[in-house]
Chain A
Amino acid sequence: MAVAVEFSHVSRHFGQVRAVDDVSLTIEEGAFFAMLGPSGSGKTTCLRLISGFEKPSSGTIRIFGEDVSNIPPNRRNVNTVFQDYALFPHMNVADNVAYGLMVKGMGRAERLRRAEEMLALVKLDGYGGRKPGQLSGGQRQRVALARALVNEPRVLLLDEPLGALDLKLREAMQDELKALQQRLGITFVFVTHDQHEALSMADRLAVFNEGRIAQIGSPEEVYARPATRFVADFVGSSNVLPPEITQRLGGPAKWSSLRPESLRIIPAEAAALAGSVTALRYLGAGTRVQIAVQGTAPGAEIAALVPAGIAVPQPGETVGLGFDPAHLHVMEGA
C-alpha cells in the first residue's frame, strides 16, 4: 500500500499561536482516517494544510509522494467536503456537482451525465435541477459529497461532515459514508470533535491536543490503551486514575486508565478499592454507577458500568470494585 498523505515535522504558526506544532504522520492509501480533537487543537488546520488553504510554516507535506509545498489548492487532486458545505448558491445542484469537471474543460453533456451518475450514487437522482437553497441539510451534505467525488480525488477531506445534521441523520450518514469509502477505495480523511464518530467510522485515528498529536493508532488501541491522560479523558469516558490508586491496584506509581465496563461491583470487604455510591445513570444497556473511592481526594470518583440484568447498588451503599488486571492500562505519557 502506498502512503497517501505524509506530514514530516509540519508546523503552522499564526503569530504566537502554534496551531500545528511539529506534527508528523502518515496516512495509508485507502484508509478511513480520523483527526479527532477539541476545537482549537489543530485538526482543522491540518486538513487545510492538505487541501492547500494553509501553508506550513515549516516541514514538508507529501501527497502520494509528491511534495506539495509549491502546489496551490486548485492543482491538488484532493477534494474537500466543507463543514458548511459551501455549495454555490447561484447554481443548481447538477451544475454544482459538475463544477470541478467544467473548470477542467469537460464538455457540458458529458459533465452533466457524470454529475447525474454521482447524484445517483448519493441517492439524489432527479434533484439536479434544484437550487441548494431548496434542499434539506442532509441533502446538501450529499450534494457536497457528490461534488467532491465526481473529480475522482486521490484523497477526500471531510471537515466535520456530520456536525450540522441531527442525531438520527448523523448515524445513517455514518454508515453510508463508511460504505461509500469501502466501495470507492478512496482515502478519506475526516476531522471531528466527536469521539463516537471517530471510533465508529475510522480505521485509524489521530488524537490532537494543543497543536500536537497525542496519540495515533487504531480505534481499539486508542480506546483501550490511551497514551496520555488527555486521550483517556477525551476518547470515551474512561476512569483516569492517579498514581496512588494505580499502586493500590497493583500497578506502578503512574497514571492509569480503566474503562467503566471493566469494573465489577463486588462486596466491599474483598476489594482493594471500595467506596460509596453517589449517583446512578441508567443507560438502557446497563447502569453507570458513580462511586466516591475511600482514601482519595473528595470529588475523585470512579464510574463502573453494571450490565442490564445484574443487581444495581443503591446510592449511599458501600461497595467494592473488582477488575481484571489485564484491563488496567498504565500510561507511559503524562
Chain B
Amino acid sequence: MSAVLAERGLGDRLTGLFWRRPNLLLLLMIAPPLIWLGLVYLGSLAALLLQSFYYIDEFSGVVVPEFTLKTYVELFRAQNLDIIFRTLLMSASVTLGCALLAFPIAYYAARYARGPWKAAFYLGVMLPLWSSYLVKVYAWKLILAKEGIIGWAAGVTGTTPILDAVLGLPFIGGNSLSTSFLGTWMVFVYVWLPYMILPMQAALERVPLSMLEASADLGASHGQTFRTVILPLAMPGVIAGSIFTFSLTMGDYIIPQIIGTSARFIGQAVYQLQGTAGNIPLAAAFAVVPIVIMLIYLHLAKRAGAFDAL
C-alpha cells in the first residue's frame, strides 16, 4: 500500500483545500454570522444614530432626513431631562436592591451548598431567569393590586396602617402598590435579581477557602473577614451583575407601564415617541442616552475588573 492515499471525491478535495488554506475555511465559517450581525445589528445601530440627527417637521409631522442637532436640543429640555434622571435613579436603586437581596443567596450557594443542594440552587436561580418575563410581571400585578395578596395579608395580620403609611410616603408612595414607584421598584428588583445572583456567585466561588482560613488564622473575626476579604473579592461579581440590572432597568418600558405611576421612563418615552407620536428622530435620540451611559458604565466596569466574573 502506498504511503499516500488517493483522493476520493469532492469531500477529500475540499478537505485538502481547507488544509492548505486554513484561513479560507475560517472565512467561510465566520462570514455568514458576521454579515448578519454587521448588516442587521450594526447597520441598525447606525440607522438609529442617523435618525437621531434627523428632525420632524412640526407642521406636517414628516421626518426630514437632513442633518441637524435640533432633536438633541429638544432631548435636553427640562421635561425630558426629568425622564432621564428618574430612569437613572430607578436603575441605581434597583441595582442596590438586587445586590442586597442577591448576596445571601449567592454566598450560600457558592460557599455552603453541596451536591443536590448546589443543583437545586442553580436551577432555582436559572428557572426564574429564563421563565417568561411577561408572566413574571403579570404575577406582580396580581400581588400588588389593591385587592391583591399583599393588601389581604396586611388586613389579616392587622398591618394595614403600616402599609398605608408606606403608601402615604411622598414620591415613592401612591394609591396602591401597583400604582407607586415603590411597586415599580419591587418588580424591577424581582425580575432582574437572577442576573445579579449568577455573576456574584461566580465571583464568590473563586474565593479560595484557604484565603478565608488565612484571614481567620491572622486573627480576623468573622465580621472582619467578611469586610476585608469576602466583600472586596465579591466586588467584581457585583459590578458585573450591576451591568445587567442597570442596563435592563434603564431600557425597560413594560414594567413601569403596567406597574407604577404615569411618570415616564426612558424606555416608555422611546416607545411612545416612535409609536403614537411618530417622532422617530426624538425616539432615536432618547435611545442613544442608554447607549452612552452603558458605554461609560462598561468602561468603568472593565477598569474595575468586572469582566473576569462574567
Q: Do chains A and B touch in the complex (CB under 8 A)?
A: yes
- Interfacial residues, chain A to chain B (CB-CB below 8 A): 52, 63-66, 68, 70-78, 152, 154-155
CA distance A68 to B4 in the complex (A): 8
Q: Is the interface of A mostly helix, strand, loop or mixed?
A: loop
B133 at the binding interface (Cβ < 8 Å): no
Residues of B within 8 A of A (CB): 1-7, 12, 15-16, 19-20
Nearest 5 CB-CB pairs, A to B? A72-B19, A64-B3, A63-B3, A75-B5, A154-B3
**Are A78 and B3 closer than 8 Å at their CB atoms?**
yes
* A152 contacts across to B, CB distance below 8 A: 1
User: In the assembled complex, which residues on chain A have CB atoms less than 8 Å from the CB atom of B3?
Assistant: 63-66, 68, 76-78, 154-155
For B5, the closest partner residue in chain A by CB is: A75
Starting from the known contacts A70-B16, A72-B16, A74-B15, 8 additional A-B residue pairs (CB-CB under 8 Å) come to A63-B4, A64-B2, A64-B3, A71-B16, A72-B15, A72-B20, A152-B1, A155-B3
Q: Are B19 and A77 in contact (CB under 8 A)?
A: no
B20: A residues at CB distance < 8 A:
70, 72
Task: Say yes or no: B1 contacts A75, CB within 8 Å.
Answer: no
Chain A contacts of B12 at CB under 8 A? 74-75
Q: Which residue of A lies closest to B16 (CB)?
A: A72
Contacts of B16 in A (CB 8 A): 70-72, 75
Q: Which chain A residue shows the least CB distance to B6?
A: A75
CA distance A295 to B16 in the complex (A): 64
Complex A-B: 18 CB contacts under 8 Å: A63-B4, A65-B3, A66-B2, A68-B3, A68-B4, A70-B20, A73-B19, A75-B4, A75-B16, A76-B3, A76-B4, A76-B5, A77-B2, A77-B5, A78-B3, A152-B1, A154-B1, A155-B3
C-alpha spacing A278/B19, complex, angstroms: 58
A75 touches B2 (CB 8 A): no
B4 and A71: CB pair below 8 A?
yes
In the assembled complex, the Cα of A301 lies from the Cα of B1 at a distance in Å of: 55
B4 touches A77 (CB 8 A): yes
Cβ of A217 to closest chain B Cβ, rounded Å: 25
* Chain A residue contacts of B15, Cβ below 8 A: 72, 74
> Once the chains are docked, how many angstroms separate the CA of A63 from the CA of B5?
12
Residues in B neighbouring A71, C-beta threshold 8 A: 4, 16
CB distance from B14 to the nearest CB of A (A): 10
Please give, as numbers and ranges, the residues of chain A lying within 8 Å of B1 by CB-CB distance: 77, 152, 154
Please give the distance in Å from A308's CB to the nearest CB on chain B.
47
Which residue of the partner chain B has the closest CB to A154?
Answer: B3
- Closest A residue to B2 by beta carbon equals A77
List chain B residues, Cβ under 8 A from A77: 1-5
Cβ distance B2 to chain A, nearest Cβ, rounded Å:
7
- B229 CB to closest chain A CB (Å) equals 37
Determine the distance from Cα of A65 to Cα of B3 in the docked complex, in whole angstroms.
9
Bound-state CA distance A137–B20 (Å) is 35
B94 CB, nearest partner CB in chain A, Å? 45
> Which residues from B are CB-within-8-Å of A64?
2-3
- Give A64 to B2 CA distance when docked, in angstroms: 8
Q: Say yes or no: A66-B19 contact (C-beta < 8 A), given A74-B12, A75-B12.
A: no
Report the Cα distance A68→B3, complex, angstroms. Answer: 9
Q: Among the interface residues B2, B6, B12, which one has the most CB atoms of the partner chain A within 10 A?
A: B2
Give Cα distance in the complex from A52 to B1, angstroms: 19
Residues of A near B19 (CB, < 8 A) are 52, 72-73
Q: How far does the Cβ of B28 sit from chain A's closest Cβ, in whole Å?
A: 17
Within 8 Å CB of A73, what residues of B? 19
Q: Which residues of B contact A52 (CB under 8 A)?
A: 19
Give the shortest distance, in Å, between B145 (CB) and chain A (any CB).
53
Shortest C-beta distance, A99 to chain B (Å), equals 15
Name the residue among B7, B12, B19 with the largest chain A CB count within 10 angstroms.
B19
Of B4, B12, B20, chain A has the most CB atoms within 10 Å of the CB of: B4
Interchain CA distance A63-B4 in the complex, whole Å: 8
Chain B residues contacting A155 (CB-CB under 8 Å) are 3
| Min C-beta distance of A48 to chain B, whole Å | 13
Which chain A residue shows the least CB distance to B18? A72
Shortest distance between the CB of A227 and any CB in chain B (Å): 31
| Complex alpha-carbon distance, A289 and B78, angstroms | 92
Residues of A within 8 A of B5 (CB): 74-77
Nearest-CB distance from B8 to chain A (Å)?
8
Name which residue of chain B comes closest to A53, CB basis: B19
- Closest chain-B Cβ to A22's Cβ sits at a distance in Å of 23
* Chain A residues in 8 Å Cβ range of B7: 75
Residues in B with CB closer than 8 Å to A154 are: 1, 3
> CA A77 – CA B16 in complex, angstroms?
15
